[in-house]
């Protein structure tokens, strides 16, 4: 049965998807829906960016959310765990809450983005063939090779246009979008509380976004597994403060002496 195409722009709000949307508008391409999966965990500057983008383009952004917010899923959602579960044995986790996401347990992406998006698409598939436009840049070949991105109904305009990540950021800056300086602090701008961020990005979060850091620390105190395998949020804070002290004394951070002194500092303060 013939179904008309329904063209969806998958908008995360970051540099690549923003450049894709603006480029599609400039080229007069078909756009039936601009879809943003709102985790509730974006930086305030990102929400301001989306509002401005909506105003500047004159196009509505469809914002969808999961049934339950991140905090409920992290602390209060019922989770089936048997007594032999590795999580129970290792962390003593109970039957409530998923805890912090991890490299092999990215429940946040599944529940806050994938499931709401699939529910949205399911309601359309009976009438349309959905063509989802995804902002993968031309120099992100590794992402294109992932099985989920080989879907024949996925379209990658940035690849077709030969736009790299650097091209996308420059294009957005030229159009007047700067996310209040977030890309000067973070390589990628996504959920501010992600445990998979690098140390340099977490350092930026600590120094430049104190309110968000305070929330991160409060959540870390409440859950059954610490923020990272190597550091809790409080330990990260102590490390970053110690780094500042060390650098003010004119000492290099990348040295055995620094890490030995940091270890002693953490052991002393934890004790």
Give the pairing type, strands 154-155 and 33-37. Answer: unpaired
pLDDT of residue 271: 57
pLDDT of residue 89: 72
pLDDT score at 224:
87
Residue 247's region, left for phi above 0, alpha for psi from -120 to 50, else beta, is alpha
Residues 254 and 249: their CA atoms lie apart, in Å, by 14
Classified as helix, coil or strand, 98 is coil
Please, what are the domains in the chain? 5-192 (3.40.50.620), 197-271 (no CATH)
- pLDDT score for 225: 86
CA angle 234, 222, 212 (to 5 degrees): 55
**pLDDT score, position 148:** 66
Residues in the chain, pLDDT under 50: none
Q: What pTM was computed for the model?
A: 0.91
């Amino acid at each position: 049965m013939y179904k008309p195409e329904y063209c969806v722009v998958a908008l995360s709000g970051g540099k690549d998807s923003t450049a894709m949307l603006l480029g599609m508008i400039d080229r007069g391409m078909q756009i039936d829906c601009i879809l943003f999966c709102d985790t509730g965990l974006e930086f305030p500057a990102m929400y301001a960016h989306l509002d401005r983008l909506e105003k500047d383009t004159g196009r509505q952004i469809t914002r969808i959310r999961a049934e339950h917010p991140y905090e409920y899923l992290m602390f209060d959602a019922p989770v089936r765990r048997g007594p032999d579960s590795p999580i129970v044995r290792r962390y003593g986790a109970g039957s409530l809450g998923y805890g912090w996401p991890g490299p092999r347990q990215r429940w946040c992406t599944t529940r806050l983005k994938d499931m709401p998006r699939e529910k949205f698409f399911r309601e359309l598939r009976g009438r349309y063939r959905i063509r989802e436009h995804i902002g993968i840049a031309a120099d992100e070949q590794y992402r294109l090779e992932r099985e989920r991105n080989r879907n024949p109904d996925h379209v990658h305009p940035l690849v077709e246009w030969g736009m790299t990540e650097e091209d996308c950021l420059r294009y957005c800056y030229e159009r007047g979008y700067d996310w209040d300086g977030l890309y000067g602090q973070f390589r990628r701008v996504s959920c501010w509380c992600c445990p998979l961020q690098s140390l340099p990005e977490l350092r930026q979060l600590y120094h430049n976004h104190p309110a968000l850091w305070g929330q991160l620390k409060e959540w870390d105190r409440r859950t059954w597994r610490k923020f990272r395998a190597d550091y809790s949020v409080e330990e990260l804070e102590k490390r970053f403060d110690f780094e500042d002290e060390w650098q003010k004394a004119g000492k290099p951070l990348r040295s055995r002496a620094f890490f030995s002194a940091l270890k002693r500092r953490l052991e002393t303060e934890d004790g």
